[in-house]
Structure 1
Amino acid sequence: MSTRVLPPIESVSGGSHGVHAGYEQMLVLAERYERQAGDLVEMAALGARVMADGDLLESSVLAPLSFADAEVHVLDATTGADGLTVRAVGIEADALGVRAVVAAFRASDALAERTSETIDNTMGRLVGRELAAALPALLVAGAISYAWWSTLPPDEQTALQDRLTEGLGELVHDHPELAQHLVNSGGGLLDGLTGGLVTGSARLLDPGDGAIQGATTNDAARLLALLLGDDTDYDVHQLTGIAPSDNQSSAPGSLADLMRSLDDTNDLDQDEPRRHGAIQIQTIGQPPHERYIVYIPGTDDMSPVPQDGEHVRDMETSYQLIGGMDSAYGRGIEQAMLDAGLDGKDVMLVGHSQGGMVSTSLAADPDFTRHFNVQHVVTAGSPTAQVPLLPDGTHALHLENRGDAVPLLDGEDNPDQPNRTTVKFDQGTSNVGGNHGIDRYVQGAQAADASGNGSIQDQIRHMQQDGYLGSDPVTGVSTYQVTR
């Protein structure tokens, strides 16, 4: 009997065993040192108070030698070379040393981030200027290339297109860090193409919200969203007559089960295109201890310019989310959850692609979290670095497949937070579209389930303790459609 080989996990960052969790543990140690030093100082002061006690001083007349000997020992124990006061000073110095080390590490991290951002931005700006200067020649070359392309037989056009697509897929799979840096240079590229219009006197946007004072990829995304109208109007209604899938009829027992249920939600508009924008809400357990899992699929319309005015899961929404803006999809999800009676309830958000983007964004939005207690977020193939901070009470697990270009679209690694874990695995090929499929993320989730990594296992344990992974009965699955 053959054994299924799980995809290798290439890296795990953040979480309870991440770098910043280590910083916090070091600061906890420093606090313990400081408390211990305070206790020693208090004990030293107690010794002085004892020696100054009136009754003890009166008794010294009766036994002056014994009193003097006791005084010497007390002073030695409290203020002597090896006394409590000296030890307290040493421990306090250790605490300051630990804090200084953490501050130095954090400063080094910030410097590395700033340096990387500056290099990417400068590279993009230089390329943008060159492209702007060479635009006439590029247009002529493009016209000639298109004319040559048009003369090729259809089978040769298809073969050439396949070779180009495969070459791009191999580049993304073999060198994801290069693709990420190219995306991260988007702000500088925009600046170079527009001659500084974005960060100049026109101030079309408000750059400088990142590690550098200059246009960022987030600025570029905001500009694209504005050019498309920045539409946030939405409509929500419940879809009836949709039976829960086999996967959704029982509570998920693992991360892989969550991905399978998410895939079933994603398939709703595959079976019936008019269901575009559908999300599903799974109820687990009985009142008053019920929990809710909201399954949020990704982009329906991948066209750079939306093809119609109804699809809420389009590129305009992606631009808004990367730019840190409000979106019709996010607003519609919130309304659907309110309509379903989830106000004040414990929830988990599970999203693929754009669905993971909006899940992470909502979990960090105070207007959203005043209605819902978002205990967990699980994302698959989603760029989420544009959300810099999640509340301490929210645990997030981000799955990213090597060779999937979509998680690279934020241009940065996810923030390292103790409650936020990023798992990168390799189930990729040169097929960029295939690498983004939820089926690949089912396999990546299986690898995470089987991993012994502390950050991953702590995330899973929290999901189990909070009742989202386990054997409690499913008491309902409802479906809502969000449209523009």
Structure 2
Amino acid sequence: MTADSPGADSSIVEVTGGAAGVAASYAALLALAAVFDEAAGQMRGWAAEGARTLLDPELLASALLSPGTFAEAEAAVLVATTGPDGVGVESLGWEVDAQALRLLVGVLEAADAGAAEAVAAVEHQVGRTVGWTLGATAPAALPAAALVAGRIALTVPDLPARAAPLVETWLTEHPQEVEHLVAGGGGFLEGLWDGLTPGAPGGPLGLPLDLADAGAAAGLLARLYPGRPARTTLLPGVRVESSTTAPRSVADLVDHARQLSELSGPDHPELNGTLALQTLTGPGGDTRHVLLLPGTDDMTTLPWTEDGDVRDMGTNLRLVGGLDNSYADGVLDALAQAGVG
């Protein structure tokens, strides 16, 4: 954790959207519907003002002196307020447009949800098929696989260490593929378990796994990683270029996060888990805090290779599975140490 308290003026903004950026478009449509509602309300106010004008005592009194112009004035007000193109009728059109926008957003959101559920179901079934195939063929394939693995271990003993950076780079550059793999994880584990006894569906001892989604699968896999208590340590000598400057744009925030992430690169594993809390004081004396949390330091962590890193696959699985994790505990501890309520 790094702590800074620059007194520079700054503007704190909220960032939304991101990978699910379509949600921002939906929000914009709903905001436009609210503007239409407001415009319709203003038009209805103008129509009511027109009705009051028709009953104005002075206008009514002028009918005795100039019946013709009185009739023209009354007709003009009626056309402007209740005529086919009057504000009263137009307000209904704006209201209809507002309701249509809300209906459109509802339909699109429902379609998105349905498409997501359909894709998730397909990915779950694909994962289950692959898992069942591996489980069913394990008795025949396991000896050959063990022989090949042993040969590789003898001829290329450092293969895991050499392959790990390449795998991590691929995972980082193809997040959409990782999402599909995670989505099919529950089905894969179900199929693998069930495939161990292909003649008796339900898995060994008739105890089936029920991993309907990625969260359940992640929660199961997370239990392979031992839980460890968080330890939060202040690093007063650690700084990046943006540590002493207040962010003035979203680009500044992203660049600050990038600089912080580079502290825990492959050449500096001792700084894995570093986060920053930047405290800003505005011109009026108001205080704001910016918490910068870099992403995963090690995406290739297996249960038997787990070390002291807190931002690894074990933590990722616990997050996806909705379980408590040391990283979240450490973040809360860092906030408490800095006196943030």
Fold match, TM over 0.5?
yes
For residue 28 of structure 1, report the CA deviation from its aligned partner. Answer: 2.4
For residue 120 of structure 1, report the CA deviation from its aligned partner. Answer: 1.1
CA contact (8 A) 2:264 2:273 kept: no
For residue 331 of structure 1, report the CA deviation from its aligned partner. Answer: 0.8
Q: Deviations 1:8-30 (Å, cap 9, x if unpaired)?
A: xxxxx946x95333332232222
For residue 266 of structure 1, report the CA deviation from its aligned partner. Answer: 5.8
Quote the Cα distance in structure 1 between the aligned partners of 2:91 and 2:282: 54
Q: Say whether residues 1:81 and 2:84 are aligned partners.
A: yes
Query: What is the aligned partner in structure 2 of residue 234 from structure 1?
Result: 230
SS in 2 for 1:134: helix
Quote the Cα distance in structure 2 between the aligned partners of 1:51 and 1:43: 13
| Correspondence for 1:24 among 24, 27, 32 | 27
Structure 1 residues without counterparts, runs of 5 or longer: 1-12, 208-214, 344-370, 372-484
CA contact (8 A) 1:265 1:279 kept: no
Structure-to-structure mapping, 1:262-277, within 5 angstroms: 262-264=261-263, 270=269
For residue 223 of structure 1, report the CA deviation from its aligned partner. Answer: 1.2
Q: Which amino acid aligns with 1:106?
A: E
Q: Say whether residues 1:96 and 2:99 are aligned partners.
A: yes
For residue 268 of structure 1, report the CA deviation from its aligned partner. Answer: 9.8
Quote the Cα distance in structure 2 between the aligned partners of 1:141 and 1:63: 109
Q: Deviations 1:69-101 (Å, cap 9, x if unpaired)?
A: 433333232222232222222232333333333
Quote the Cα distance in structure 2 between the aligned partners of 1:286 and 1:42: 42
Query: What is the aligned partner in structure 2 of residue 120 from structure 1?
Result: 123
Query: What is the aligned partner in structure 1 of residue 4 from structure 2?
Result: none
Which protein is richer in helix relative to its size?
Answer: 2
CA contact (8 A) 1:265 1:295 kept: no
Quote the Cα distance in structure 2 between the aligned partners of 1:307 and 1:163: 15
Q: Which amino acid aligns with 2:213?
A: T
For residue 330 of structure 1, report the CA deviation from its aligned partner. Answer: 1.5
Q: Which amino acid aligns with 1:233?
A: P
For residue 301 of structure 1, report the CA deviation from its aligned partner. Answer: 9.6
Structure 2 residues without counterparts, runs of 5 or longer: 1-15, 195-200
Query: What is the aligned partner in structure 2 of residue 328 from structure 1?
Result: 326
Quote the Cα distance in structure 2 between the aligned partners of 1:289 and 1:139: 65
For residue 133 of structure 1, report the CA deviation from its aligned partner. Answer: 2.3
1:312–1:159 CA distance, 2 compared to 1 (3 A): closer
Q: Which amino acid aligns with 2:107?
A: A
Q: Deviations 1:10-69 (Å, cap 9, x if unpaired)?
A: xxx946x95333332232222222222222222223322332345544554554444334
1:204–1:235 CA distance, 2 compared to 1 (3 A): farther
Query: What is the aligned partner in structure 2 of residue 390 from structure 1?
Result: none
Structure-to-structure mapping, 1:352-371, within 5 angstroms: 371=341
Q: Deviations 1:209-244 (Å, cap 9, x if unpaired)?
A: xxxxxx222221111223445x363344546xx634
1:167–1:325 CA distance, 2 compared to 1 (3 A): closer
Q: Deviations 1:443-465 (Å, cap 9, x if unpaired)?
A: xxxxxxxxxxxxxxxxxxxxxxx
Quote the Cα distance in structure 1 between the aligned partners of 2:151 and 2:266: 40
For residue 247 of structure 1, report the CA deviation from its aligned partner. Answer: 4.0
Q: Which amino acid aligns with 2:84?
A: A
Say how many residue pairs are matched: 311
Q: Which amino acid aligns with 1:225?
A: A
Quote the Cα distance in structure 2 between the aligned partners of 1:110 and 1:56: 59
Query: What is the aligned partner in structure 2 of residue 108 from structure 1?
Result: 111
Structure-to-structure mapping, 1:265-414, within 5 angstroms: 270=269, 279=275, 281=277, 288=285, 298-299=296-297, 303-305=301-303, 312-341=310-339, 343=340, 371=341
For residue 122 of structure 1, report the CA deviation from its aligned partner. Answer: 1.8
CA contact (8 A) 1:248 1:282 kept: no
Q: Say whether residues 1:134 and 2:137 are aligned partners.
A: yes
Q: Deviations 1:125-165 (Å, cap 9, x if unpaired)?
A: 22222233223223233233235446x6x3xx369879988
CA contact (8 A) 2:185 2:214 kept: yes
Decide which structure has the larger Cα Rg and report it.
Answer: 2
Quote the Cα distance in structure 1 between the aligned partners of 2:288 and 2:72: 69
For residue 277 of structure 1, report the CA deviation from its aligned partner. Answer: 5.2
Q: Which amino acid aligns with 2:338?
A: A
Structure-to-structure mapping, 1:26-65, within 5 angstroms: 26-54=29-57, 56-57=59-60, 60-65=63-68
1:160–1:244 CA distance, 2 compared to 1 (3 A): closer
CA contact (8 A) 1:76 1:83 kept: yes
Quote the Cα distance in structure 2 between the aligned partners of 1:168 and 1:331: 28
Quote the Cα distance in structure 2 between the aligned partners of 1:314 and 1:165: 13
CA contact (8 A) 1:252 1:258 kept: no
TM-score normalised by length of structure 2: 0.69
CA contact (8 A) 2:167 2:300 kept: no
Structure-to-structure mapping, 1:157-306, within 5 angstroms: 157=156, 177-195=176-194, 215-228=212-225, 231=227, 233-238=229-234, 243-245=237-239, 247=241, 250-251=244-245, 254=252, 255-256=254-255, 258-264=257-263, 270=269, 279=275, 281=277, 288=285, 298-299=296-297, 303-305=301-303
Query: What is the aligned partner in structure 2 of residue 471 from structure 1?
Result: none
Quote the Cα distance in structure 2 between the aligned partners of 1:245 and 1:38: 54
**C-alpha RMSD over aligned residues:** 4.5
Which protein is richer in strand relative to its size?
Answer: 1
CA contact (8 A) 1:306 1:315 kept: no
For residue 169 of structure 1, report the CA deviation from its aligned partner. Answer: 8.2
SS in 2 for 1:326: coil
Query: What is the aligned partner in structure 2 of residue 420 from structure 1?
Result: none
Q: Percent identity?
A: 33
Q: Which amino acid aligns with 1:335?
A: D
Q: Which amino acid aligns with 1:192?
A: G
